[in-house]
C-alpha cells in the first residue's frame, strides 16, 4: 500500500506542482479559514477573510469581543453565516477559556490532547480539527475531506462508506510521518478533486491518476 500511496503522491506532485497551502498570513487566519470553508468554495472564504482584515478584526481578542450577530454580516459570503459565526465564537471561547486567548500557548499543547479538545468544540469536526492541527499548528496529522474520500473510493482503495478515521489511518499508517508531505498531499488531492472528481460524475475523465502505471496494472482492488 505504501508503494501505491507514494506513487500517487509523486504522480500528483509532478502533474500539479506544489500547492503552497494553507494560503494565509497567520495561524489564526488558518483557523478562521478552516471553520469558514466548511462545505463552501474557498473563493467565498477569501472575501470574508478580507472583510475581517479590512476592519482589523482578524485577531483572537477582537473576534472574541465581537458578538455573534455583529460577526455574521462580515462572513456572509461563506454561506451558513449564522452557524459559522456561532462556530467561530465557540472556538474563541475555548481558546480564551483553556489557553488565555493565546495561540502561543495553544501551539505548545500536545497534539493528541489538542485534537480531543478541538473535537469537543461545537462546530469543529474531524476535518476542521485536523486542518487546524496540520496547517495552523504544524502537526503531522493527515486531513481527510470529501474529495479525498471520493478519489480513494473511486480507485477502490477504500469503501465508499469508510469512516474518517479509517481513511486517515490508511495514510498515516502507510506514509512516513512528515508534516510537509501531509500538507502537500492533501492539497494535491483537493486540487485533483476540484478538476476531475465532481460529485455526480463518477467517471473522472482525463484524471491524471488513471495514467498512473502502478494503478493501471492493478486488478480490481478489494476495499480496505
> Can you give the binding site for DNA, defined by CB under 7 A?
21-23, 33-34, 37-44, 47, 76-77, 79-84, 121-129, 131, 135, 145-147, 161, 163, 190, 193-194, 197-201
State which residue, 16 or 80, has the beta carbon closest to DNA: 80
Q: Distance between CA 35 and CA 24 in Å, rounded?
A: 14
Min CB(144)–DNA separation in Å = 9
What is the crossing angle of helices 2-16 and 179-196, to 10°?
70
Burial of 9 (0-12, 13-18, 19+ CB in 10 A): middle
State which residue, 99 or 135, has the beta carbon closest to DNA: 135
Min CB(3)–DNA separation in Å = 27
Q: Which residues are CB-neighbours of 60 under 8 A, at least 6 positions away?
A: 28, 92, 95, 96, 101, 102, 103
State which residue, 1 or 198, has the beta carbon closest to DNA: 198
State which residue, 14 or 200, has the beta carbon closest to DNA: 200
Min CB(189)–DNA separation in Å = 9
Min CB(109)–DNA separation in Å = 19
Residues in the chain: 224
Amino acid at each position: 500500500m505504501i508503494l501505491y500511496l507514494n506513487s500517487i503522491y509523486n504522480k500528483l506532485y509532478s502533474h500539479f506542482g506544489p500547492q503552497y497551502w494553507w494560503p494565509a498570513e497567520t495561524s489564526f487566519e488558518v483557523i478562521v479559514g478552516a471553520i469558514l470553508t466548511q462545505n463552501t468554495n474557498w473563493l467565498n472564504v477569501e472575501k470574508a477573510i478580507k472583510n475581517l482584515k479590512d476592519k482589523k478584526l482578524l485577531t483572537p481578542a477582537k473576534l472574541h469581543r465581537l458578538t455573534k450577530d455583529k460577526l455574521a454580516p462580515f462572513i456572509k459570503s461563506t454561506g451558513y453565516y449564522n452557524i459559522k459565526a456561532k462556530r467561530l465564537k465557540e472556538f474563541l471561547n475555548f481558546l480564551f477559556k483553556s489557553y488565555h486567548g493565546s495561540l502561543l500557548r495553544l501551539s505548545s499543547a500536545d497534539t493528541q490532547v489538542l485534537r480531543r479538545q478541538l473535537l469537543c468544540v461545537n462546530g469543529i469536526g474531524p476535518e476542521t480539527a485536523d486542518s487546524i492541527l496540520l496547517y495552523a499548528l504544524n502537526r503531522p496529522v493527515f486531513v481527510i475531506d470529501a474529495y479525498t474520500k471520493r478519489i480513494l473510493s473511486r480507485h477502490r482503495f477504500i469503501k465508499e462508506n469508510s469512516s474518517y478515521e479509517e481513511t486517515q489511518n490508511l495514510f498515516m499508517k502507510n506514509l512516513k510521518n512528515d508534516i510537509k508531505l501531509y500538507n502537500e498531499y492533501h492539497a494535491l488531492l483537493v486540487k485533483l478533486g476540484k478538476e476531475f472528481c465532481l460529485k455526480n460524475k463518477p467517471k473522472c475523465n482525463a484524471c491524471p491518476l488513471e495514467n498512473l502505471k502502478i494503478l493501471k496494472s492493478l486488478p480490481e482492488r478489494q476495499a480496505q
